[in-house]
Amino acid sequence: MAIGVKVMKRPTQQTSYLRATLKGMALTFSHLLRPKVTMQYPEEKSSKDWTLSSRWRGTHRMLTDEQGRAKCVACGLCPQICPANCIKLVPGEDEAGHRYPLIYEIDEFRCIFCGYCQEVCPEEAIHVGVHYENSEYSRDRFVYDLERLTAQTHPVSTLWDPSDPKGE
Amino acid sequence: MTFFIVASAIKVFVVFNLILVGVALLTLLERRVCAWMQDRLGPNRVGPQGILQPAADGLKNFLKEETSPAMADKALFTLAPLVSFVPALLTFGVIPFASPLPTPWGVVPMVVADLPIGFLYILAISSLGVYGIVLAGWASNNKYALLGGLRASAQMISYEIALGMSTVAVLLLAGNVTLSRVIAQQQHAHAWFIVPLTLSFVIFFVSALAETNRLPFDLPEAEAELIAGYHTEYSSMKFSMFYIAEYSNMVTASALMATLFFGGWDIPFTSWDSTGDPSVAKTVLTLIAFGLKTFVFLFTFIWVRWTLPRFRYDQLMALGWKVLLPLVLLYITVLAVAIWFLRMQLDWDYGPAMAYTLGGLNLILLVALVWWLDRGRIISGSVAEEAA
pTM of the prediction?
A: 0.81
Residues in B whose CB is inside 8 Å of some CB of A read: 33, 35-41, 303-304, 306-308, 370, 373-376, 378-386
Angle at B359 between CA B356 and CA B362, to 5 degrees: 160
Q: Say what the pLDDT of residue B380 is.
A: 45
Residues in A whose CB is inside 8 Å of some CB of B read: 1, 5, 7, 9, 12, 15-19, 21, 24-25, 27-29, 31-32, 34-38, 40
Residue B377 — pLDDT band, cuts 50, 70, 90? low
Q: Say what the pLDDT of residue B384 is.
A: 44
A115 C-beta neighbours (distance < 10 Å), count: 18
Characterize the bridge pairing of strands A87-93 and A99-107: antiparallel
- CB-CB contact of B358 with B197 (8 Å): yes
Q: How confident is the prediction along chain A (168 residues), in pLDDT tens digits per residue?
A: 456 767 677 666 666 777 778 888 888 899 888 888 888 888 888 888 888 888 888 899 998 888 888 888 888 899 999 999 999 999 988 888 888 899 999 999 999 999 899 989 888 889 998 888 888 899 989 999 888 888 888 888 888 777 777 767
Residue B371 scores a pLDDT above 70: yes
Rounded distance, CA B263 to CA B182, Å?
A: 8
- CB-CB contact of B53 with B61 (8 Å): no
Pick from B39-43, B139-143, B173-177, B325-329: least confident: B173-177
Q: Say what the pLDDT of residue B283 is.
A: 82
Distance, C-alpha B19 to centroid of its chain: 13
Q: What are phi and psi for residue B135, nearest 5 degrees?
A: -60, -40
Cis peptide before B216 (omega within 30 of 0): yes
Residue B171 scores a pLDDT above 80: yes
Instruction: Give me the mean pLDDT over the B121-134 stretch.
Output: 85
Q: Say what the pLDDT of residue B381 is.
A: 46
- CB-CB contact of B162 with B207 (8 Å): yes
Instruction: Give me the mean pLDDT over the B274-301 stretch.
Output: 84
Note the pLDDT tens digit of each residue in B29-58: 999 999 999 988 888 888 888 888 888 888
Q: Pick from B303, B380, B382: which is nearest to A25 by CB? A: B303
Instruction: Give me the mean pLDDT over the B279-283 stretch.
Output: 80
CB contact under 8 A, A18 and B40: no
Q: Pick from A9, A16, A40: which is nearest to B374 by CB? A: A16
- CB-CB contact of A114 with A83 (8 Å): yes
Distance, C-alpha B65 to centroid of its chain: 32
- CB-CB contact of B46 with B53 (8 Å): yes
Per-domain boundaries in chain B: 2-387
Residue B123 — pLDDT band, cuts 50, 70, 90? confident
* Sign of the alpha-carbon torsion through B190, B192, B198, B200: positive
Note the pLDDT tens digit of each residue in B206-226: 888 888 888 788 877 777 777
Look at residue B221 and give its three-state secondary structure: coil
Checking phi first, is residue A107 left (phi over 0); if not, alpha (psi -120 to 50) or beta?
Answer: beta
